[in-house]
Each structure stands twice: as C-alpha cells, then as structure tokens.
Amino acid sequence: MIVVVAPGQGSQTPGFLAPWLEDERLRDQLGAISDVAGIDLVTHGTVSDADTIRDTAVAQPLIVAAGLLTLNALTAGGRDEYIGAVAGHSVGEITAAAAAGILSEDDAIRFVVERGSAMASAAALEATGMSAVIGGDEAALLERLAELGLQPANFNGGGQIVVAGALDALAKLAEYPLKGTRVVPLQVAGAFHTRFMQPAVAHLETVASSLTKNDPTLAIYTNRDGSLIEVGEHFVDLLVGQVSSPVRWDLTMTSLADAGVTGIIELAPAGALVGLAKRALRGIPAVAVKTPDDLAAAFDLMEANA
C-alpha cells in the first residue's frame, strides 16, 4: 500500500515552489488558489524571504497549496489509483482532507487561511514558542515538562518530541537538558497544539460549520490517535480540535505499519516526514517529492507497489 503524506509548518523554504511553477498548468492552479486565499502565494512560493513565509498566516496556506500542487502532478494520468491511503502532519491534515475528498480544494484553502490567521492571533497573546527534544526517556521528559509548565505538542516518533510553552521555560529546558537529550529551538511564532491555541478553536468551529464535508473516498488516518477515519464530518471536527491538542504522528506511523504500508511519498515541501519514517518505519521505501525532478522516483515506487 502506497501512502501519501503531507508535511506541516516549518518545512517551507524560500523559493521552494519556483521549479513547480515552470509547469503552466500548476502555475495556473496556484494562481486560482491564491485568488481563493486572498494571498499572493505565487510570490510567497518563489521570491518571498524566510521571515515572510515564516509568518503563520502565510506559511499555512502556502504549505497546503504546495501539497495540492504536488498531489496534482503526482496523480496526473490516472495515477491516483496507486494511492492506498493519505495522512498529514498538523496543517498537512488539511491537504490530506482534500486528497481524500473530504473537503473541496477551495474549502480546504478557505479553512487553512482562517486557521493560519486564528493561530497567529492566538500566538500574539503571549510570548511562546516550540523546541524539538531529540532522544532521552519519554516519561522523564514529560515529568520535566510538567515541572516547567511546558506541554508536548508533537509526538513525532523516531525519538523526537516537540514541546511548547513560555519562552523562559523553553530556555530553561535548553540550558538544563535531560540526560541523553538534545534541545533544538524551532523558528515558529507560538506554542501550537497546546492550550495557548484555545482562542483559535472557537473561531475555527464557526468556520468549519460552513464547510461542505464529504465522507472520504480514500483511507485517511488522523493525528489525534492514528486511527482510520470513515466519516468526513468527524475528520473536520478533529481538524478543529487538533489546533490545541498534540499531534500524534508516532501513532499515525504505527497505524500505517499495521495497515501494511509498502511505500511512502511525501508531498512538497517534502523531507521532514520521510526523515521520521526512515527512523520509525525502517525498511519501508520513501520518496520526498521536493521538486518535479523527484516525480520519476515517486512514479517508480507507485508502479512497483501496484
């Protein structure tokens, strides 16, 4: 079974969409997405600098748009029949929802624009951030986080947990790391997937109520607990709650392994999820589709697993 995965915020880099937009069809698609979003994603994907595309209100629509473009290129010519399941990490779940037919492309873009704006507003209320903790004992880390008033935000598997909370508490964790751990501050604007994002949830509940939800036409796994979701409305409810609850990518990967995954293809801006899969799903071939040049390897993997 080939599983297509969609990355989350932080995976974008300046100019990463430029190679994709050499294809006039994809450039037109991104132009149409930009019109729906009310944001010039063509500019942001090609010439905007790192600080500009780090802005949560820009980054999230840009990442989902990139995933939709890659998906379009990946499935052209009827290749969608090779895909057995889909999953997304954090904001990538919105890309996954569109891939599975739960949301239309336009509704996915409308939702992610509201999500990015609401999360940016919530992040502005207090000085918070996130850090990746690599290695060490999970139980000991969770105990230390409780002492510092921090929360686990992403259980990424492969020995990596992203933690979030007040900047001074994150600094203390970095200054006095637990034995066997490495703490890496992340360039994000707030404590996503924690209680600090609760102000965004109420707004997104209202936004979600206006969306058309369809039951998935493709198997889709959730970040909430790694489970397979069969009701589109339920998946959208989870998308709303996910903003202030931890991303359990570790459980998603476990579910994919249990389901018999034989290959993983990561949509642009790709790399992070393939890296995690190589550590947690050893032996499963994976392709990171960063540029159009990577499509050939993805097609080969799809056909080899037909």
108 and 240 share a domain? yes
Alpha helices in the chain (DSSP H): 24-37, 41-46, 50-54, 56-75, 92-99, 105-123, 138-148, 167-175, 198-209, 232-242, 249-258, 272-280, 295-304
| Residues 277, 235 within the same domain | yes
Distance CA 7, CA 89 (A): 5
pLDDT in tens, 54-71: 999 999 999 999 999 999
Q: Are 140 and 118 found together in one domain?
A: no
CATH of the domain at 172: 3.30.70.250
Q: Are residues 169 and 264 in the same domain?
A: no
CB neighbourhood size of 81 (10 A): 9
Given this model, what pLDDT does residue 113 score?
98
pLDDT tens per residue, range 260-304: 999 999 999 999 999 999 988 989 999 999 999 999 999 999 999
Query: What stretch of H or E contains 183?
Result: strand 182-185
Same domain flag for 291 and 238: yes
State the pLDDT at residue 26: 96
Q: What is the pLDDT of residue 169?
A: 96
Total domains, the chain: 2
User: In terms of residue numbers, what domain contains 241?
Assistant: 2-123+194-304
The two structure tokens encoding residue 282:
């050893």
* Whether residue 251 sits in one domain with residue 151: no
Which stretches in the chain have pLDDT values below 50?
Answer: none
User: Are residues 225 and 83 located together in one domain of the fold?
Assistant: yes
Q: Do 200 and 250 belong to one domain?
A: yes
Residues belonging to the active site: 90, 193
In tens, the pLDDT along 165-184 reads 999 999 999 999 998 999 99
CATH of the domain at 32: 3.40.366.10
Q: Which region holds residue 101: left if phi is over 0, alpha if psi is between -120 and 50, else beta?
A: left
Residues 211 and 78 in one domain: yes
With contact defined as beta carbons under 8 Å apart, do 115 and 60 qualify?
A: yes
Looking at the structure, tell me whether residues 139 and 202 fall in a common domain. Answer: no
Q: Report d(CA 40, CA 229) in Å as an integer.
A: 33
Nearest to 66 by CA among 38, 102, 91: 91
Q: Is residue 49 located within the same domain as residue 161?
A: no
Give the residue from 185, 204, 222 where a domain finishes: 185
Same domain, 162 and 205: no
State residue 293's pLDDT score.
97
Residue 173, CB-side half-sphere exposure with 13 Å CA sphere: 33
Nearest to 158 by CA among 9, 286, 3, 22: 286
